[in-house]
Amino acid sequence: MISKETIEKVFDQARVEEVIGDFVQLKRSGSNMKGLSPFVNEKSPSFMVSPVKQIWKDFSSGKGGNSVTFLMEHEHFTYPEAIKYLANKYGIEVEETIVTNEDLEQANEKESMYLVSEFARDYFHKTMLNTDEGQAIGLSYFKERGFTKDTIEKFQLGYSPDSWDAFTKEALGKAYKLEYLKKTGLTIVKQEDGKTFDRFKGRVMFPIQSMSGRVLGFGGRILTNDKKAAKYLNSPESEIYHKSKVLYGIFQAKQSIAKHDNCYLVEGYTDVIQFNQSGIENVVASSGTALTPDQIRLVHRLTNNITVLFDGDAAGLRASIRGIDLILEAGMNVKVCSFPDGEDPDSFAKNNSYEVLKQYLDENSKDFIQFKADLLVKEANNDPIKKAELIRDMVNSISKISDFIKREIYIKECSRIMDITEEVIRSTLAQIEKKDVSDANKKFTEEKKAFEVHKNNENLQPAKIDILYELEQKIIEILLVNGSETEDFTETFLAEDETGNLVDVKETNAYKVYEKIYLALQEDEIELSNPIFKTIYTDIINYYNQNLEFEIDKYISQTSPEIANKITSILMLEERDILHKWENRKIVVEKKNINLAQSVTETILSYRWYLLNKVIEENKNNITADVTVDNTEILTTIKDYLSLTTVIAKNLGRVMVRF
């Protein structure tokens, strides 16, 4: 268990904008920050962070919370893992009991796979540094590549002994279960006889990490000339490792990508490492696979700009640049840079200084249109048919751009480069888009048929505003935002004057806002009807009674994910309105009432008024037309309640319409 003192230190020092900024590119938006949702694929920002309130809200997925809940949602951390991650980030010593073998056995399957992978990383790293075989083979290989001690440590490079089961034996001896060694692919178990052997036997090891630094899998390179063995071997797909969703080096690169607002994309592990050592850290690798939308989305969280780097003599260059269309389709800006013949990112970075490398990248990074033109014109070789195919290829890329201004610029650029009229390009674009529309309509028709079946089975009605829900939500919002503030509340009540007549008397008293709300609801013996709001209300009142100050991030950390989501939704209501830019659409959004005491009083009176009218309607429904039944008591009750609603309406200072 992590000590309470450690948890308090973490919450005191952790800044939600800094934590989330490691994973999502955030831009200032008034007093808040916004960015693209890290949970869904989108082109317009719906993710809001409030540095003042120390919370975040994703309006696309509905998720929200503080820095800890973000790590739990985004990285699938447990609560203790999130605390440890933040403690490490902010240099806080974690006080906890030692993890025992029993603790390991109780860990869930996914967590057990992470633990096994992290043990393997440490084992391979120590084996390379501390054994004769590791130093002679693994360490000498990395030194030949020019990697320094600091670089080797930074990427936790390692070596797996050239023995059938050295790693497996070590892991089993440390109480790690064979089940998880097998599921992570670190150990292969023969079905015939149950024999085990190490998947990465005799290879130098490259740990593959998530954006938060968790070990997902490994890449292993063989150093012998065994033609039967693959040069590079990756961990198999598993519960924690999905090759198409991972980018090598993203953990080391994320801050630099956000800082420089650009990401260099290469193919191999050593390309990434060599660039880092040269001083350029905003680089990641697709690890030899074709670029996928999930990998692009990882980068898009941090920047809107990608520069794709290619080998000078890459045979499959044309096939590789198909990924450019995916980048454009994601709404990102893309440049391309190739190296001289015989060079790749690894060799070029190794043989040149940081200044030379940086200058080369700056001067040779071309816009994708220019790059495609240079590459494909060579292939066309003045052949009219091939040139037509080339133009269609380039226009197809332009069609992926959703931004009309960018598209217009690229149309003109393509026209200039290819010496062809803009009309022809626009006509070709129209053909492509016509096909896209046709395909979309076909899909829509199919979905519409399915919807009609659902519609016939459902009596679809427009959503009705739930007034009671809105009023109770407003009470919770006031408690969350202003509960600890002290205000002067003026109340009006009836009292006898000197002559015995009833007159209005005003009395002003100072209350803390949470006290005023609590006393008002207690006076009327009212309980909130919504179960979640009722839970939050009870928790907040108890929290205020036990603590001098209300710290929203600490309070949220003690609640369930469901409650945390609801609280952040309420707190970010105004931010949601700002995000949607209603003012630009000529829609006026009412701002929060400046007069706090008035807002509290009005909310309570409105809540009372609504509940009274509800009771009145229920009593009216109990009136019977049967002459043998005496309705006097019900009518008297209704009359009394109507009198109360009149008083409430008078106190509100306005005529109220029935909900």
User: Which CATH number is 30's domain given?
Assistant: 3.90.580.10
Whether residue 297 is contained in a domain is answered as: yes
Residues of the chain with pLDDT under 70: 97-107, 288, 312-321, 376-381, 436-465, 492-497, 500-505, 524, 548, 574-594, 625-629, 631, 640-641, 643-645, 647-659
Are 27 and 35 in contact by the 8 Å Cβ rule? The answer is yes
Task: Examine the domain organization and report whether 17 and 128 are in the same domain.
Answer: no
Which amino acid, one-letter code, is at 631? Answer: N
Buried b (16+ CB within 10 A) or exposed e, 174-212: eebeeebbbbbbbbbeeeeeeebebbbbbbbbbbbbbbb
Q: How far apart are CA 514 and CA 486, in angstroms?
A: 9
pLDDT at site 576: 61
Domain final position from 180, 214, 241: 241
- Could you tell me if 100 and 28 are in contact, meaning their C-beta atoms sit under 8 angstroms apart? no
Which of 89, 121, 138 is the endpoint of a domain? 89
Assess if residue 529 is contained within a domain: yes
Q: Is residue 98 part of a domain?
A: no
Distance separating alpha carbons of residues 125 and 134, to the nearest angstrom: 9
pLDDT at 465: 64
Tell me whether residue 99 is in a domain: no
Backbone φ/ψ region at 213: left (φ over 0), alpha (ψ -120 to 50), beta: left
Same domain, 84 and 27: yes
Q: Taking a C-beta distance cutoff of 8 angstroms, is the pair 513, 600 a contact?
A: yes
Q: What is the separation of C-alpha 501 from the centre of its chain, rounded to a whole number of angstroms?
A: 65
pLDDT of residue 585: 40
pLDDT score, position 617? 81
**Cα atoms in the Cβ-side hemisphere of radius 13 Å centred on 144:** 9
Q: Are residues 349 and 483 in the same domain?
A: no
Looking at the structure, tell me whether residues 327 and 379 fall in a common domain. Answer: yes
Q: Which of 241, 272, 298 is the last residue of a domain?
A: 241
Q: In 3-state terms, what secondary structure has residue 330? A: coil
Same domain, 226 and 344: no
Per-residue pLDDT at 582: 42
The strand pairing partners of 263, in sequence order, are: 306
Q: Which of 538, 529, 533 is nearest to 614 (CA)?
A: 529
In a domain, 279, yes or no: yes
Q: Are residues 521 and 425 in the same domain?
A: no
The CATH number covering residue 226 comes to 3.90.980.10
CATH of the domain at 308: 3.40.1360.10
CA-to-CA distance for 325 and 292, rounded, in angstroms?
11
Query: What was the pLDDT predicted at 442?
Result: 66
pLDDT given at position 111: 85
Query: Does 284 share its domain with 143?
Result: no
Residue 445 lies in a domain: no
Same domain, 123 and 209: yes
Annotate 546-560 with DSSP letters as a single string: H-SS--HHHHHHTS-
Distance separating alpha carbons of residues 599 and 618, to the nearest angstrom:
29
- In this structure, are residues 170 and 127 in contact, taking their beta carbons and an 8 Å threshold? no
Contact 304, 261 (CB under 8 A): yes
Say if residues 478 and 517 touch (Cβ distance below 8 Å): yes
- Give the integer Cα–Cα distance in Å for 216 and 477: 41
Are 233 and 257 members of one domain? no
Report if residue 659 sits inside a domain: no
Domain identity same for 219 and 262: no
d(CA 62, CA 17): 18
DSSP state, residue 96: B
Contact 155, 207 (CB under 8 A): yes
Domain count, the chain: 4
- Can you give the pLDDT at residue 148? 96
Long-range contacts of 214-217 (CB under 8 A, 24+ apart): 214/75, 214/114, 214/117, 214/118, 214/240, 215/114, 215/117, 215/118, 215/120, 215/121, 216/117, 216/240, 216/241, 216/246, 217/117, 217/184, 217/185, 217/241, 217/243, 217/246
Mark whether 297 and 351 lie in a shared domain. Answer: yes
Pairing of strands 187-189, 196-198: antiparallel
pTM listed for this prediction? 0.66
Same domain, 50 and 127: no
pLDDT digits (tens, 9 = 90+) for 252-306: 998 899 889 999 999 899 999 999 999 999 999 987 678 888 899 889 888 889 9
Residue 624 lies in a domain: no
Residue-range definition of the domain harbouring residue 276: 252-431
